[in-house]
Structure 1
Amino acid sequence: MHQRNNAKLWAGMAIAMVTAALGSAYAQQGPRGASSYAPVDITEPFAAIFSRLSKQKPSVMRDHMALLNERYDLSNRPAAGITMDRTKPVQEGVRVKLVPGTTWDSLAVTAPEQIRDRNLFPPGFMPLPHPKHEEGGMVFPHTEIDEIKRHEGRDLTRFDVDFDIPDHFLPEFPPAMYLNQRSDLGDISQGKLVTLENYYELFNGIINPKQLEGLRLLLTPFPQQQFNQTEDRRSELPSRGVACFDCHTNGHTNKATHLAPDARPTQTRHRIATPTLRGVFVQRLFGSQRALKTVEDFTEFEQRGAYFDGDDVIAAKKGVNILDRGHQVNMMAEFQEMLGFPPAPKLDLFGKLDPSKATKAEMHGQEIFLGKGRCGACHAAPYYTDNMMHDLQTERFFKASMIDGLYETGDGPVKTFPLRGIKDSPPYMHDGRLLTLDDTVEFFNLILGTKLDDNEKQDLVAFLRTL
């Protein structure tokens, strides 16, 4: 009897230890959703959905903009004499706000675990929530909304949320478009937004019929999670959907935002800022973190899956358009692979600065980029990418927490984006958390522990503006 009781005791202790271990592991994993699937049958009428979410919109945006104002200086402070590809001024200065009592210099010499334990990590360096993170979905800047409505009568306005980043931090609109095979023509868009209304007039006689058809498909709206015909859409009127170039304006970007489709529950999904398609021809990974291997994969899977939050059941309900891989997808990819980088007159044929054209500060910035700053370890000339993914292990610096609907943890591996034309593509990082190049330099100075001084940081920014 005594032995049986001991056996029961040890068995109970073992079960308790296993349960505790599993509980600890579960806690470390973070939140887990009840299901990977979204509800299919919506019982609330559209009129009720529209009324409820429209009334909530002002408070949703007020709360989210309060978060942005806590994190950033959102004022309009353009750099003197520095513009994007055409005329839009580039914003200058570090806009991320420091925790009171800290300086950039003091942070640079503080160990990551001390920054974490003392809550000193600048909130603007933490992952950025979607403006309505529990909902997610595509949200467009008003410039894109207004121009598409004018050209096509299609309304990309959401009744439940608005875009959040102020216009002066966004890329020039509409951006220029360059074709590698017709570099002699310069901006092929002629300063216009390329749409279904004008693409044929602009491109006929310049590209071949396959590429024309690929461009047409890139400009054609197809159903998407928030823009479709169903009662759980987020546009007031039934919508034809969205087009690839609604986000990748003129083959570049307007920084429209949504959530990565991969993870569940939604609070663990990362915000995605639309990257530029300029220079697709040199890239070997597609998607900020999905690491799709070809532009054909990305073109097909984005519309079939990511448009619907990675839920093929919902895609079937809302009207997914299945593109033919060997015909339509290839045509779309062929056009995307023509998209070139903007001119960089100070760079030589190896992608390095020509000393006869660059300033002393720019030359010094290049030296920092390739040396002490360690930027060149991942961003190699001539296009300033290594076509790999890297994990910056940002979770070293802050404690996991729920903020504005996002469970803020580390970023995980992120694609090395090409830096050619980088001044034309603010804000930066995969989620747009870094508003200026100055912010980006401060971020990596802290994350990489490079301990650059103020002069080195300023010259590094000067170099990045030449790319």
Structure 2
Amino acid sequence: MKKWLMLWRSATGLALLCLLPSISVAQAPDKPPTSYSPVVPSETFETTVQRMSAAKAEVMQRQMDLLKERYDLSNTPADGVTMARGKAVQSGVRAKLPDGVTWEMLAEMSPAHIRNQGLWPKGFLPLPHPHHAEGGMVFPQFHIDEIKKQEGRDLTRFDLDYDLPDHFLPAYPPPIYLTTRPDLGDVSQGKVVTIDNYFDLFDGILNPKQIEGLRLLVTPFPQQQFNQTHDRRTLKASRGVTCFDCHVNGHTNSATHLVGDIRPQQFRHRIDTPSLRGVNIQRLFGSQRALKSIEDFTEFEQRAAYFDGDPVIATKKGVNVLERGSQVHFMAEFQALLNFPPAPKLDVFGKLDPAKATEAELRGEKVFSGKARCAECHPAPYYTDNLMHDLKTERFFKPQMVNGRMAAMDGPIKTFPLRGIKDSPPYLHDERLLTLEDTVEFHNLVLGTKLTAQEKADLVAFLLCL
């Protein structure tokens, strides 16, 4: 009895202490930084929808103001150059220069001078996610519309939209070329491949393992923002996303996301969804992760990238744990069939055929292999060295916060193949370069190659042949 009374008095004392003003929650220290996402939401789903929907217009306006400050966003097609199915390739340098500065002037300056004077073009800084503090997968509207039409699955987010204008994105739907059946040309029949039509399109062309791999690539699985939990970013409970929601038809629609392997949030990089064409000749996967096989990449995407690299939240939301020996193998086997688009001006060694190329294209090939130093990382025939390189862009600008993204450095980036490059805008690992002309100017400064205006134009002409 005595022991019970002492416990009662102790509990009562603690309860009274909790009522004292000096112990209020408001005076508690800020929460320490953490690598983990909260498992239990701090507000109801209805409150989250109302709050984030109300903020959406302001969030998107801030991002659009940034894009307009950085770039010329006009629809200005190149003469006589198209992607697949006739979509125009955008022309010209779109990154805006600081007042009173020309590209030729910048090329003569040292990185330290550019950095100290704040002259680095803002369009060459890392590009933030449409809402960097929130992140997550975001899809172009044309893809949202097509998937809703075919499957009734809605990829609309109530908190934000995709940001880059459609005319800077790849042709949709992209063609599919198979290494096993080049005689068939485009096997997509002009359609977006989904769970509803994959079997009809590929039965009789693929073997059973490859068909099963394709089925898994077009099957929706839960993802961080698209799932059934109350911390999703869709109004209705979602079946999730598919691999081909980003890598449409084994290519890309330039859907964006944030890398899952960097913390804290402001240092995470925006993702440009790379094409899966030509993965059979690649030895590294992921823009920065240096994964060693397409099987590693496939498994990593499902287990980690889908959930921002957080296995705790993945368990809650329904992570799809693939079986390595069969499912991952089947998915990888199909991906390895995806071929680059035809390049009629290239010979069997990936070089220009002089009988088919123009004088400007041939001059551009010489610049590519010589003065511009492109071929040191992008050698023929596939125009990749299957390595990673750090361009050390931080030499040119001071660290700065831009729309929630800490622009500090890029680090080592995978050398992407340049075959079919005109079909895969925008460029660099985070979509900051809108055109091939932007890409040439960027590397001219970063590599210090001091190309002339004619050499830059010739180089672009060559890249369009790849």
TM-score band, normalised by shorter chain: over 0.9
Once residues 95 and 337 of structure 1 are traced to their aligned partners in structure 2, the CA distance between those partners, rounded to angstroms, is: 34
Give CA-to-partner distance per residue, 1:81-132, whole Å, 9 cap, x none: 1000221000000000001111000000000000000000000001000000
Amino acid across the alignment from 1:209:
P
Partner SS for 2:181: helix
Partner SS for 1:271: coil
Amino acid across the alignment from 1:347:
L
| Structure 1 partner of 2:4 | none
- Is this contact kept in 2: 1:33–1:264, CA < 8 A? no
| Structure 2 partner of 1:436 | 435
Once residues 294 and 143 of structure 1 are traced to their aligned partners in structure 2, the CA distance between those partners, rounded to angstroms, is: 31
| Structure 2 partner of 1:374 | 373
Partner SS for 2:84: coil
Partner SS for 1:80: strand
Partner SS for 1:272: coil
| Structure 2 partner of 1:275 | 274
Which runs of structure 2 are paired with 1:223-302 in the superposition (5 Å)? 223-302=222-301
Amino acid across the alignment from 1:451:
K
Structure label with greater radius of gyration:
2
Partner SS for 1:86: helix
Q: Are positions 1:339 and 2:326 aligned together?
A: no
- Is this contact kept in 2: 1:33–1:265, CA < 8 A? no
Q: Are positions 1:157 and 2:156 aligned together?
A: yes
* 1:33–1:246 Cα change, 3 Å: farther
| Structure 2 partner of 1:464 | 463
Amino acid across the alignment from 2:198:
Y
| Structure 2 partner of 1:24 | none
Once residues 90 and 321 of structure 1 are traced to their aligned partners in structure 2, the CA distance between those partners, rounded to angstroms, is: 38
* 1:462–1:429 Cα change, 3 Å: same
Once residues 263 and 300 of structure 1 are traced to their aligned partners in structure 2, the CA distance between those partners, rounded to angstroms, is: 18
Once residues 193 and 41 of structure 1 are traced to their aligned partners in structure 2, the CA distance between those partners, rounded to angstroms, is: 37
Partner SS for 1:147: helix
| Structure 2 partner of 1:7 | none
Once residues 248 and 40 of structure 2 are traced to their aligned partners in structure 1, the CA distance between those partners, rounded to angstroms, is: 34
Partner SS for 2:80: strand
| Structure 2 partner of 1:114 | 113
Q: Report the TM-score when normalising by structure 2.
A: 0.93
Amino acid across the alignment from 2:412:
P
Once residues 277 and 403 of structure 1 are traced to their aligned partners in structure 2, the CA distance between those partners, rounded to angstroms, is: 30
Give CA-to-partner distance per residue, 1:282-331, whole Å, 9 cap, x none: 10000000111000000011111110000000000100011100010000
Amino acid across the alignment from 1:391:
D
| Structure 2 partner of 1:42 | 41
Once residues 124 and 46 of structure 1 are traced to their aligned partners in structure 2, the CA distance between those partners, rounded to angstroms, is: 37
Which runs of structure 2 are paired with 1:369-408 in the superposition (5 Å)? 369-408=368-407
Partner SS for 1:82: strand
Once residues 250 and 304 of structure 2 are traced to their aligned partners in structure 1, the CA distance between those partners, rounded to angstroms, is: 21
Which runs of structure 2 are paired with 1:73-112 in the superposition (5 Å)? 73-112=72-111
**Cα distance, 1:345 vs structure 2:** 0.1
Once residues 378 and 291 of structure 1 are traced to their aligned partners in structure 2, the CA distance between those partners, rounded to angstroms, is: 16
**Cα distance, 1:33 vs structure 2:** 7.2
Moved more, 32-41 or 457-466: 32-41
Once residues 118 and 38 of structure 1 are traced to their aligned partners in structure 2, the CA distance between those partners, rounded to angstroms, is: 39
Once residues 90 and 429 of structure 2 are traced to their aligned partners in structure 1, the CA distance between those partners, rounded to angstroms, is: 19
Which runs of structure 2 are paired with 1:175-214 in the superposition (5 Å)? 175-214=174-213
Amino acid across the alignment from 1:304:
R
- Is this contact kept in 2: 1:175–1:250, CA < 8 A? yes
Once residues 381 and 293 of structure 1 are traced to their aligned partners in structure 2, the CA distance between those partners, rounded to angstroms, is: 21
**Cα distance, 1:43 vs structure 2:** 2.9
Once residues 76 and 400 of structure 2 are traced to their aligned partners in structure 1, the CA distance between those partners, rounded to angstroms, is: 32
Amino acid across the alignment from 1:464:
L
Q: Report the TM-score when normalising by structure 1.
A: 0.93
| Structure 2 partner of 1:10 | none
Amino acid across the alignment from 1:313:
V
Amino acid across the alignment from 2:316:
K
Percent identity, aligned pairs only, is 68
Calculate the aligned-residue CA RMSD, in Å.
Answer: 0.8
Once residues 275 and 100 of structure 1 are traced to their aligned partners in structure 2, the CA distance between those partners, rounded to angstroms, is: 34
Moved over 4 A (4+): none
Once residues 320 and 172 of structure 1 are traced to their aligned partners in structure 2, the CA distance between those partners, rounded to angstroms, is: 31
Which runs of structure 2 are paired with 1:296-335 in the superposition (5 Å)? 296-335=295-334
**Cα distance, 1:410 vs structure 2:** 1.0
Once residues 102 and 305 of structure 1 are traced to their aligned partners in structure 2, the CA distance between those partners, rounded to angstroms, is: 44
Give CA-to-partner distance per residue, 1:157-211, whole Å, 9 cap, x none: 1110100010000000000000000010000001111111111011000110000
Amino acid across the alignment from 2:355:
S
Partner SS for 2:129: coil
| Structure 2 partner of 1:447 | 446
Once residues 323 and 237 of structure 2 are traced to their aligned partners in structure 1, the CA distance between those partners, rounded to angstroms, is: 26
Amino acid across the alignment from 1:192:
K
**Cα distance, 1:80 vs structure 2:** 1.0
| Structure 1 partner of 2:357 | 358
Once residues 273 and 366 of structure 1 are traced to their aligned partners in structure 2, the CA distance between those partners, rounded to angstroms, is: 26
| Structure 1 partner of 2:218 | 219
Amino acid across the alignment from 1:215:
L
Partner SS for 1:79: strand
Partner SS for 2:193: coil
Once residues 400 and 416 of structure 1 are traced to their aligned partners in structure 2, the CA distance between those partners, rounded to angstroms, is: 24
Partner SS for 2:52: helix
Give CA-to-partner distance per residue, 1:211-261, whole Å, 9 cap, x none: 000000000010000000011100110000000000000000000000000
Give CA-to-partner distance per residue, 1:269-290, whole Å, 9 cap, x none: 0001100000000100000001
Partner SS for 1:90: strand
Once residues 310 and 234 of structure 1 are traced to their aligned partners in structure 2, the CA distance between those partners, rounded to angstroms, is: 18
Once residues 32 and 160 of structure 2 are traced to their aligned partners in structure 1, the CA distance between those partners, rounded to angstroms, is: 24
Once residues 313 and 194 of structure 2 are traced to their aligned partners in structure 1, the CA distance between those partners, rounded to angstroms, is: 28
Once residues 317 and 42 of structure 2 are traced to their aligned partners in structure 1, the CA distance between those partners, rounded to angstroms, is: 16
Once residues 168 and 69 of structure 1 are traced to their aligned partners in structure 2, the CA distance between those partners, rounded to angstroms, is: 15
Once residues 463 and 409 of structure 2 are traced to their aligned partners in structure 1, the CA distance between those partners, rounded to angstroms, is: 26
Once residues 410 and 265 of structure 1 are traced to their aligned partners in structure 2, the CA distance between those partners, rounded to angstroms, is: 14
